[in-house]
Amino acid sequence: MPATARRLAIFQESVIREMTRLANQHGSINLAQGFPDFDPPAELIEALERSARGPFHQYAITWGAPRFRQALAAKIARFGGPQLDPDRNLVVTCGSTEAMMVAMMTACEPGDKVVVFSPFYENYAADAILSGAEPIYVALRPPHFDFDPEELRRAFAQKPKALVLCNPSNPCGKVFTREELLFLLDLAREHDAFVLTDEVYEHIVYAPHRHIPFATLPGAEERTLTCGSLSKTYSITGWRLGYVAASERIIAQAKKVHDFLTVGAAAPLQEAAVTALEFPDSYYDQLLADYTRKRDLLLGYLAQTGLDYTIPQGAYYTLVDISPLGFADDRTAAEEITRTIGVTGVPGSSFFREPVHRYLRLHFAKKDETLHRAGERLAAKLRR
């Protein structure tokens, strides 16, 4: 029998999907896989019904339907992002998942090195490896998830082709400060590296923290590929709409990668999503108010357990330090807590390159009632 590609051997099945299966098996509340259990805004569902009846059933332009790209460029500029030409600076993709893959394959040759912060969203290392590149990890150190500038300098001394930046960060909730971002940009400039940013949580940043789009830093434009998504901002993870934004020189190449990978994102969904991109500012204020309430609600219950946990600056995850509970490791803890308490999280070690086995990641993109039920179970039974 022919052997399948060796590069796939190191990929495991996603721990998150495994935990979801376990949660279903035990009827446990699933705070593992990070997507909402509530509907997107009603106006969006109505827009989808309208677009289903319109002339949007064949391929759109591969790099994105013009109306969608225009609305996207306008929305990005409205929230302090760069001024983008919808024809020259954008490729619409099937979610940020495809966007990151396109960015990686646009920036890197086989054999190149890519700096990835750890803990990290699981796709980055996979994107690098599928592109033939090699990830080099730099730790974001708990509890504040700061990086050590010297460690980062040592990583850059290995001449990486790119740095991956997840900001706001999943899973640690870090929102990088302007000073940190400028430091990263200086290093990227000094070593002539690209910066591939994943900014899918740009609208979920809690006061007093602020999201700074990396591409808006002075001089960042020529080396930044920004990956964004509609998944989280409009609670439509199943619509699979995302994008890469970059300079004309970079996007001309990214268009080719995207074209050969997927041809394009679904045309009727791009049409319907124009409605979302045109939502007034009040939509985003409400989104943030809702997530702030959900965060405080879950953390309020966690406070009753006596355990330590991260207070996210952005995104919708917290890492709970389950080390005082005496489990052999975080994997055992996640399984036991699913079975005995009926709440499921992700063992934190699946996000870390270093051997960190003391966290359980919980997300709070859930209806308040779901969070109350989960919180009550945790507060009653999860005790240090």
Maximal C-alpha separation, the chain: 59
The closest residue (CB) to ligand PLP is: 95
Asked whether the bond before 40 is cis by omega within 30 degrees of 0, the reply is: no
Cα-Cα-Cα-Cα torsion 311, 358, 178, 126, nearest 10 degrees, comes to: -120
Tokens encoding 310: 């991260």
Q: At what angle do helices 281-303 and 368-381 cross, to 10 degrees?
A: 20
Establish if 175 lies at the interface with ligand PLP (CB under 6 A): no
Establish if 350 lies at the interface with ligand PLP (CB under 6 A): no
DSSP-derived 3-state class of residue 119: coil
For residue 343, list its beta bridge partners.
29
Closer to ligand PLP by CB, 64 or 242: give it: 242
Select the span of 91-99, 174-182, 188-196, 258-266 touching ligand PLP (CB under 6 A).
Answer: 91-99
Establish if 313 lies at the interface with ligand PLP (CB under 6 A): no
Judged by CB under 6 A, the residue of 18, 127, 198, 321 near ligand PLP is 198
Instruction: Give the closest residue to 307 by CA, choosing from 360, 346, 357, 364.
Output: 360
User: What CA–CA distances, in Å, run from 271 to 40, 44, 174, 265?
Assistant: 16, 10, 33, 11
User: What CA–CA distances, in Å, run from 364 to 94, 169, 202, 235?
Assistant: 24, 15, 16, 13
Smallest distance, Å, CB 2 to ligand PLP? 31
- 281-305 exposure pattern, b = at least 16 Cβ within 10 A, e = fewer: eebbeebeeebeebbebbbebbeeb
Smallest distance, Å, CB 167 to ligand PLP? 9
Smallest distance, Å, CB 384 to ligand PLP? 29
Smallest distance, Å, CB 192 to ligand PLP? 26
Closer to ligand PLP by CB, 334 or 346: give it: 346
Select the span of 5-13, 95-103, 132-140, 217-225 touching ligand PLP (CB under 6 A).
Answer: 95-103
Judged by CB under 6 A, the residue of 68, 121, 309, 351 near ligand PLP is 121
Q: What angle do CA 28, 143, 290 make, to 5 degrees?
A: 50
CB 244 within 8 A of CB 254: yes
Establish if 103 lies at the interface with ligand PLP (CB under 6 A): no
Smallest distance, Å, CB 262 to ligand PLP? 12
Closer to ligand PLP by CB, 18 or 198: give it: 198
Closer to ligand PLP by CB, 105 or 325: give it: 105
- 38-61 exposure pattern, b = at least 16 Cβ within 10 A, e = fewer: eebbeebeebbeebeeeebeeebe
Residue window 224-253: x/- pattern of binding to ligand PLP, with contact defined by CB under 6 A: -----x-x-----x----x-----------
Residue window 20-49: x/- pattern of binding to ligand PLP, with contact defined by CB under 6 A: --------------x---------------
Strand 346-347, strand 359-363: pairing: antiparallel
Establish if 170 lies at the interface with ligand PLP (CB under 6 A): yes
Residues lying near ligand PLP in the complex (CB under 6 A): 34, 95-97, 121, 166, 170, 198, 200, 229, 231, 237, 242
